[in-house]
Amino acid sequence: MKHRLAALAVTAAAAAVLPLCTATSAGADPSYTVRGAYLTQEQCVAAGQAGYQLWGPNFLCQPGTGGYIYLLTH
C-alpha cells in the first residue's frame, strides 16, 4: 500500500514537472509522448507492458531529470 501511495505521489509530482522537462528528455524524436515517470526501470517496464492495450508493444523507458525514469510511447 505504501508503495502504491508513493508511486501515485511521484506520478502526480512528475505530471506537474513534465511540461518543463519533456523537451529535453524526448527532444530527439518529437513523435514520442511521455506517459509516466517512475522511480525504477522495473516499474517503468511494468507500466509499459500493462499499457499494451493503449499504445501497443512499442514503448521506451529512459532516464529523465530528477532521477526519474520516463515511460515514452509513440
3-state secondary structure 33-74: EEEEEECCHHHHHHHHHHCHHHHCCCEEEEECHHHCEEEEEC
Each residue of 3-59: pLDDT tens digit?
554 555 455 555 544 444 444 454 556 788 999 999 999 999 999 999 999 988 999
Number of domains composing the chain: 1
Residues spanned by the domain of 22: 2-73
- Using pLDDT thresholds of 50, 70 and 90, give the confidence band for residue 74: confident
The larger pLDDT score, comparing residue 1 to residue 70, is at 70
Neighbours of 73 (CB within 10 A): 17
User: What is the pLDDT, as a whole number, of residue 35?
Assistant: 94
